Structure 1
Amino acid sequence: MPETFARALKPTSPEEVQILVAEAGAAARRIEVMGSGSKRGIGQMEPVDLALSTARLDRIIDYAPEELTLTAQPGVRIADLERICATRGQMLPFEPPRWTRLLASHGEPTLGGVLAAGLSGPRRPRAGAARDHLLGFHAVSGRGEVFKAGGRVVKNVTGYDLMKLMCGSWGTLAILTEVTIKVAPRPRTETTLLLSGLADVRASEAMTLALNGPFEVSGAAHLPAHAARARPLGAAHPVTAMRLEGFEASVAARREALAAALRPFGTPEAMEAEASRALWVDIREVEAFAGDPRPLWRLSLPPASGWRAPHALPGDALYDWGGAVAWILTEAPDARVRAVAAELGGHALCLRGHPAFGPRRGGHGALQERIKAAFDPLGVLNPGRMEAAT
């Protein structure tokens, strides 16, 4: 674990967080904000004066299974939340990834860190993103001011939707001190249909058919040959996977209907519950690319044309979210990767090998700067993290 994290300030109450941020602003000091520190390598920050970890803000405040809501402090570990929800037959519907092996990082990912990074797993096309499950929060802004938004109920539409603003802000606007999220019933069973040997464009067509049909597919991914060779598949050819979840009878009926609809693409093979779960954990964690030293990119793209980006770049790819996310290992220049993603109407995040975020441009960049100035005018929190390195 990095020495700077070991020496991080670890407040145990929201009041301590507010005092630390207010004092930092008054003294013109800047703070690195983190949870467990598992994603510290994403984004290149400017020099800071101190580090603040929310790891000891780790209390579950309220869990109401009958209301499908859970309120907790940001330092609660994702693994602990999932275990608690599982005891009541429930789950975190946005299937948050860890990326621990992928990033060669230490620490157990926390709820606050996952929400601050806006991370969602393979269930994203059906269940929605992390931001769609954040009902409310309490936080401390870069001004050292305590504020809150949303609430602890699902039907909450009053005021600005700051929940979506906080998700994906990477701790640059405020420090979360309490969050309320939606949970969901855990599926009784699951199965995955596998198609073998499809080229990327045909795989995209098959995933689009599955996701747009009446089959309630909860995951659709394509693993070209390089990714398919990795565990647990160990396949010699590309593999396209589509997951079905729910009650046993429903899954069986939908599997039969989906298999029939996929016949123009080949005869699918069924992967049953335990093997299916292992496969989707590996897809969620991008295990096929863990340990590869090449620069690693995550491209968010229009799903029907997502395959075009990796085809315009050298390297190896893996597609999730029905093609809306393309993971690619490539030695292509930073500017080239970002340009290819932009040309297709998407954007790129680099997790390793280049600056994580691209330069701010146009109206979007100007809006981002105004929002930062409103919440953190002195640049106290995670300075420069979402800016391109100069």
Structure 2
Amino acid sequence: MVTALPGREPLLRALVDICGPDFARQAGAADLVAGHLASFVAAPPTPRAVMDTLSLAAERGLAVVPRGRGSKIDWGTPPRGLDLLLDTVRLDGIWEHRPEEFTAQVGTGTPVRAVQAALALRGQRLAVDPPSPAATIGGMLAVNESGPLRHRYGSPAAQVDRISYVDSAGGQAESDGENGNPGIAEVTGVIVSASLRLQPLPAARRWVTLPVSTPLQVHDLVAATLAQLVKPSAIEVDLPIPGGGRAAIQPAGALAVLVEGAQADVTARARQLATVLGDTATISPTAPRWWGRYPFGRADVALRLAVPITDLHAAVYALRDAAGMAVPVRGSAGMGTVHAVLPGTLPPERIEGILDAVRGVLLARGGRCVVVAAPPPISTTVAMASRRDLF
């Protein structure tokens, strides 16, 4: 780490020269990543300044980690070392908006919510809804953070026309997006901007929601929903406190289906779906409180299960059996991708045993289970999701 090397003050002065006196500093107690404390924090204002910062870091052999708002800074494999946090907060704003082409180029440090508010004034939106409230464009793309809208529109990476980034040596480069060469998952360095495809802002939205108790019930209701021609934008499930046995009486979770479009069409489709799903289904213009939120916190072990939707219920049952306890589950029942929560107080070897058992079941079903986030020492002991695993 740079703290053990000579030349600390000259290095800080060099960062100040690049970023300005108020935007380069020694790191403080809040500048932690998976238990690693940075030595410096720098916030370059332009792509050119990002190039200069990473060139300096490469020359000095510094380990660099980009940071937006920090909402997902601890996700995935922890860094082996950390000398410099490169803050993207100043790389913000919609740099180019072409409403007639439904595209926009956006700075990587721009909060997603700010972009959505600006685009809404022109009747457009990004068809993304990352659950992290403070998510930036760069942070969302770096880990391909998807919310409920992925069901209809695909992941954020799939909606990228082009990204501009600075590689770890300080060179400027571009990628054509999810399937570019390199794809976003293979990009190393710092994303500075993204050209994104936009969608019309829907005139109306309706959520059809009904209580559910078991993963098998969810399976049947999802099948019934997909059999209808209602074109859902999202199908989400929340099973917050499942019981121990499959036949046990359990506190009700919920299944919610989002339909969007023109007012009259949305009303008709929502009523059609509610009729099919049964008397307990309700229609609302507002989302359930749990919609688009993660079921885990920083002190929890967050798992991501991805499996064909026909086998999602089997995966959830397998996780419960392996854990031997109630396991909250929330996510896309319409895509077979959900997050589950294990206590962060479990010993690492217990977590590994649960993972091994669940992966054995998922292997035969073409599914997978990865640890997205966990508190130390679990994150430094258990194999965490790689960047590729998040795409």
Structure-2-length-normalised TM-score: 0.75
Q: Is the 2:39–2:84 contact (alpha carbons within 8 Å) kept by the matching residues of 1?
A: no
Q: Is the 2:303–2:339 contact (alpha carbons within 8 Å) kept by the matching residues of 1?
A: yes
The aligned runs of 1:144-223 (5 Å cut-off) are 144-150=170-176, 161-162=179-180, 165-166=183-184, 168=185, 173-223=188-238
Distance 1:268 1:283, change over 3 A: same
Following superposition, the deviation at residue 217 of structure 1 comes to 0.8
Q: Which residue of 1 aligns with 2:379?
A: 355
Distance 1:339 1:182, change over 3 A: farther
Q: Which residue of 2 aligns with 1:346?
A: 368
Q: Is the 1:131–1:164 contact (alpha carbons within 8 Å) kept by the matching residues of 2?
A: no
Identity of aligned residues (%): 21
CA distance in 1, matches of 2:172, 2:355: 39
CA distance in 2, matches of 1:78, 1:178: 13
Q: Which residue of 2 aligns with 1:2?
A: 30
Q: Specify the SS of the correspondent of 1:307.
A: helix
CA distance in 1, matches of 2:125, 2:237: 25
The aligned runs of 1:85-104 (5 Å cut-off) are 85-98=119-132
Equivalent position amino acid for 1:350 in 2: V
CA distance in 2, matches of 1:131, 1:85: 19
CA distance in 1, matches of 2:101, 2:60: 44
Q: Work out whether 1:138 is the aligned partner of 2:164.
A: yes
Following superposition, the deviation at residue 358 of structure 1 comes to 6.9
Q: Which residue of 2 aligns with 1:336?
A: 354
- Mark the runs of 5 or more structure 1 residues left unpaired by the alignment: 101-107, 152-159, 228-234, 361-383
Q: Which residue of 1 aligns with 2:16?
A: none
Q: Specify the SS of the correspondent of 2:282.
A: strand
Structure-1-length-normalised TM-score: 0.75
Q: Specify the SS of the correspondent of 2:41.
A: coil
Q: Specify the SS of the correspondent of 1:115.
A: helix
CA distance in 1, matches of 2:192, 2:156: 17
CA deviation profile, 1:176-202 (whole Å, cap 9, x unmatched)? 112111111111112122222442112
Q: Work out whether 1:285 is the aligned partner of 2:287.
A: no
CA deviation profile, 1:225-259 (whole Å, cap 9, x unmatched)? 528xxxxxxx9523221111111111122123323
CA distance in 1, matches of 2:74, 2:206: 35
Q: Is the 1:226–1:316 contact (alpha carbons within 8 Å) kept by the matching residues of 2?
A: yes
For the pair shown, the structure with the greater C-alpha radius of gyration is: 2
Q: Work out whether 1:320 is the aligned partner of 2:331.
A: yes
CA RMSD of aligned residues (A): 3.1
- Mark the runs of 5 or more structure 2 residues left unpaired by the alignment: 1-28, 32-36, 243-249, 344-349
CA distance in 2, matches of 1:56, 1:319: 34
Aligned residues, how many? 331
CA distance in 2, matches of 1:357, 1:83: 41
